Amino acid sequence: MATVTLSQDYLDVHLSLTDRLLSFHGSFHIPLAHVTNVYVSSFEDLELQYRLEGTNLGMIKTAGIFANPQGLIFCDLTGQRDCLVIETAGERFPRIAVELPADEDPNQLAHEIMRSLPDSGPVE
């Protein structure tokens, strides 16, 4: 389980100690200027193909670096509920997929993060 917090200029993804050990990776501190999109996805829609580093225990726990048709993705999931997917530019991972605690709504958090992203200017 991951805890995602939003500050004025950063998005923090905090992994528990167990998740850090299973994924061989620490938490994330991402500037909001590097976040390009945030949405909710099911485990199946991520289309994970290859485990590159981490743990894949099926529907018990999936944590680490994986490949999917879109490229690299960092996952911290159990597959029991929908996950929050954060797309980035200029970061180590182009996509980060995490499952939130049961008392948090991933849809609400995705909308809150999208509202906080810096305006990229007018679209022509």
Identify any residues that bridge with 14 across adjacent strands, giving them in sequence order: 3
Please say if the pLDDT value at position 119 is more than 90. Answer: no
Nearest to 77 by CA among 66, 92, 62, 55: 62
Identify any residues that bridge with 86 across adjacent strands, giving them in sequence order: 38, 96
Say if CB 56 and CB 65 are below 8 A apart.
no
**For the residues 51-64, what does the mean pLDDT come to?**
73
- pTM of the full structure: 0.85
- Structure token pair of residue 95: 């996509």
Q: Work out whether strand 28-31 and strand 71-77 pair parallel, antiparallel, or are unpaired.
A: unpaired
pLDDT at 34 (0 to 100) = 93
Please say if the pLDDT value at position 72 is more than 60. Answer: yes
Query: What does the radius of gyration of the chain's CA atoms come to, in whole angstroms?
Result: 14
d(CA 97, CA 3): 12
pLDDT band at 61 (very low <50, low <70, confident <90, very high): confident
Please say if the pLDDT value at position 57 is more than 80. Answer: no
pLDDT tens-place string over residues 10-33: 999 988 777 666 666 778 899 999
User: Running DSSP on this structure, what letter comes out for residue 102?
Assistant: T
Single-letter amino acid code for the residue at 4: V
Please say if the pLDDT value at position 73 is more than 60. Answer: yes
